[in-house]
Amino acid sequence: MRHLLGIEGLNPVAVTAMLDLAENYVLLNRSGKTQRDLLRGRTLINLFFEDSTRTRTSFELAGKRLGADVINMSVSTSSVSKGETLLDTAATLNAMNCDLLVVRHNQSGAPALLAQKVEAAVINAGDGMHEHPTQALLDALTIRRRKGRIDGLTIAICGDIAHSRVARSNLLLLSMLGNQVRVVGPPTLIPAEIASLGVQVYHDMEAGLAGADIVMALRLQKERMNKGLVPSAREFFAFYGVSAEKLAFAKPDALVMHPGPMNRGVEIDSAVADDSVRSVIKEQVEMGVAVRMAVLDTLARGPIWNG
């Protein structure tokens, strides 16, 4: 596979190799060193049609630490805002001979379409409600480092499952690696067909969190909802917000995760988010840089070896 468009299509061997490589980059980053010869002379374009803080900056850092020339393009400052089509943008970027194209788009499938039109290796940095593969890889790395393994765990993904590309990539990846994945949320925010992916569905936090090793909170993706699917943020917090009381249903050493951006007091309580023992939210951000370095490194060397 020349691109990273989703978790779908990867296998455990390829994923484990990527996580092992990312471990090396965690050490490198902590040592304060860089490896600028690896991508020297290569060009990475960050093409973001949707807002981003962590993903864009971590791809930028990852590219720079490996020596690539990094260019950030956002819609508001590009010709896209003048009505240029995605395919015309692709043709323009292609003519610039870019090597690595990191794309975020509000339409599911946009990175896959671009991948057919450009020479560069395309990395999906989040497409609509479809996938966000590097988020799932960084979550897996965070869990593996903290729990010492990434199989046989019970992982509860809570909140807006229906509109979340993070949920989708995570449930594909974590199930593939041999974990029990649960989704917990109101019926309006859990697609009916999700059980066919092998996940367990809960509408009640007490049952959904019982015995969980990992509790992952997700933001309400209001920008992707076309009608009010939750009565109010306050009510959502009361039923589904990850608070100390609800966390007590999980295992005593359960970890709390969130991909960011967080809405405190909606899907997660501030005290839980900032709990230095249970919350690994900051560590997820650190792992994000290492995982993205591993992805860039792997794709720059050639196709992802898929066993």
Considering the complex, state which of residue 39 and residue 158 has its C-beta at the smaller distance from ligand ASP: 158
Nearest to 284 by CA among 222, 219, 216: 216
Sign of the dihedral through C-alpha 285, 147, 173, 12:
positive
Gap between the Cα atoms of 47 and 293, Å rounded: 17
- Other Cβ atoms less than 10 A from the Cβ of 203: the count is 16
Candidates 166, 174, 212, 254; binder of ligand ASP (CB under 6 A) is 166
Of 42 and 219, CB closest to ligand ASP: 219
Which residues, 250 to 269, sit near ligand ASP by CB under 6 A? 259-260
Q: Are strands 200-202 and 69-74 parallel, antiparallel or unpaired?
A: unpaired
Query: Is 126 a residue that touches ligand ASP (CB under 6 A)?
Result: yes
Q: Which residue from 42, 144, 165, 182 is in contact with ligand ASP, where contact means CB under 6 A? A: 165
Least distance CB 248 / ligand ASP (angstroms)? 25
Q: Please tell me whether residue 163 binds ligand ASP under the rule CB under 6 A.
A: no
> Residue 284 is which amino acid?
Q
Closest residue by beta carbon to ligand ASP: 219
Q: Which is nearer to ligand ASP, 65 or 132 (CB)?
A: 132
Contacts with 142 (C-beta within 8 Å, 6 or more apart), sequence order? 257, 280, 283, 284, 287
Report if residue 246 touches ligand ASP, rule: CB under 6 A. no
- Whether residue 297 contacts residue 21, with contact meaning beta carbons closer than 8 Å, is answered with yes
Binding region for ligand ASP (CB under 6 A): 126, 132, 165-166, 219, 259-260
